[in-house]
Amino acid sequence: MNKVMTRTQHHPAAHPGTRPPTRRDPRRDTRRPGGAPPRARRTPTPHPAPAPAPTPPASALRPAAPAALAPPRVPPQTPRRPVPQPRPTDVFADRLLAVLSGQRPVHSMLRHTVGRAYDDLAHLAETGPLRSLGARPVVRDVGYYVPRPGAFEAFARIGTGDRLRAMAFRLELGRDHRWRCTAVELDGPRRPHPEAD
């Protein structure tokens, strides 16, 4: 009896005149003698991981500041000489000139004058002897005399363009340790004072 093989008809990949596909046993390697199973692939032995490097401090992670942004080196402190304070005669010469030249109002000297000095200053400021249309008047020089402790008698040379004028004033130290002007005069005739009551 002849047996007909019909298996190839059921496999679409089979072509007429070729061998039908055979099944392979994946556990056996027919290329090796005795059909020994294939050797297992060698996997590399894992090496122990290197120890992590110590973490640097946070200050080391910051970028270095450029020299322009770095704080300047402070040299050792040397004792500084105190800044000289202006003498009261210089301060009052500037204040009186500002009033007599119209740069400040007369009442700005109200708390810096005592007695008739305010009235004399107001009278001088009304006439405007140092108001000039040309150069602004400046104090050129200040001199003083100390008749007693706590008092100055001062004079100032005022330059108005090419002309020099003279101003005299007296300062006295009050109980509150503040200097006040007690008299002021400008070159020219003196203003007559009424007799004291």
Contact residues for 191 (Cβ-Cβ < 8 A; gap 6+) = 120, 123, 124
State mean pLDDT over 81-88: 83
Phi, psi at residue 14, to the nearest 5°? -75, 140
Which of 46-60, 127-141, 164-178 reaches the highest mean pLDDT?
Answer: 164-178
Q: Which two tokens stand for residue 90?
A: 């210089």
More confident residue, 41 or 63: 41
DSSP lists the bridge partners of residue 113 as: 181
Asked whether residue 155 carries a pLDDT value surpassing 80, the answer given is yes
190 in helix, strand or coil?
coil
pLDDT for 197? 42
Contact assessment for residue 98 and residue 104, using Cβ atoms and an 8 Å cutoff = yes
Q: Which DSSP letter does residue 16 get?
A: T
pTM here is 0.54
CB-count burial class (<10 Å; 0-12, 13-18, 19+) for 117: buried
pLDDT for 75? 67
pLDDT for 182? 94
pLDDT for 93? 93
Instruction: State the Rg of the chain over Cα.
Output: 56
The Cα–Cα gap between 128 and 139 comes to 17
DSSP lists the bridge partners of residue 156 as: 142, 167
pLDDT for 48? 67
173 in helix, strand or coil?
strand
